[in-house]
Amino acid sequence: MALYKLIWDDFCSWYLEMIKPAPGLPLAANTYTATVGFVETLLKLLHPFMPFLTEELWHQIQHRQPQDCLIVAAWPRPTTAPATPLLDQATATFELVTALRSLRNQAQVTLKVPLVLYVAEKAVPAWLAPFTAYVKKLAHLSDIECTTTQPPDAARCSIRGTAFYLALGQTLDKDQEKARLEKELTYAHGFLASVLKQLNNECFIQHASPQVVALERKKTS
């Protein structure tokens, strides 16, 4: 499952979208070379599970001698990742892009319409700063601005304790957005009531493990 996530989510869904050039422009040579190297490494990892397909792709990527088969290629060597907050920053950034795409879908705003994203802070959060260009690209934004007040006709999401407002403007159906928020609120109230009911059940408290009880109490915070 970890290999599936690495290939399908991290490489295909995120990496390839991040490096995709603008329409009509070529991919930078150094980016192309690095990406081919990544693909070759992924093929090596996938080879034990899909030997025939990966072997064929291995020879399709670039010209190789008949003896240079994937089955005898050196296995990728594990390395220790350097101590850096970059991975956590990227994870938070992907969470933001996913949330923004969801807001677009809920408001039925096509990706062809560039939107402005407002950050409810005096400055862009440190975890987002290295990735602002990618967020604008992946979420189809025209700009990212900071604000101290909620803009009108904006949809809200919260990532890592920071509020973000996606300015939908005239594209926002206020009645539809109100209905969506009310539905979410009703669900949240129902969910909280069910958890509190369980926590108020002495039988549950006495027989459930401390870890399960702690998990249920965490849901109320």
**What would the pLDDT profile of 13-42 be if each residue is shown by its tens digit?**
999 999 999 888 999 999 999 999 999 999
Start-end of H helices in the chain:
2-4, 16-19, 29-46, 51-61, 86-107, 132-138, 174-199, 202-207, 210-218
* Pairing state between β 162-167 and 115-119: antiparallel
Indicate the pLDDT class of residue 202, thresholds 50, 70 and 90: confident
**Mean pLDDT across the stretch 4-19?**
94
Percent of the chain with pLDDT over 70: 97
pLDDT of 93: 96
What pLDDT does residue 144 have? 96
pLDDT at residue 28, rounded to an integer: 93
Of 153, 160, 158, 198, the C-alpha closest to 176 is 153
What would the two tokens of residue 132 be?
């602002």
Instruction: Read off the pLDDT band of 171 (50, 70, 90).
Output: low
Over residues 210-221, the mean pLDDT reads: 84
Average pLDDT over all residues of the chain: 89
* Overall average pLDDT of the 189-194 stretch: 88
User: What per-residue confidence (pLDDT) applies to 177?
Assistant: 65
Model's pTM, two decimal places?
0.72
Task: For residues 209 and 206, give the distance between their C-alpha atoms in angstroms, rounded to a whole number.
Answer: 8
Q: What is the pLDDT of residue 205?
A: 86
Q: Is the pLDDT of residue 174 over 90?
A: no
The confidence score (pLDDT) of residue 170 equals: 56
pLDDT of residue 33: 95
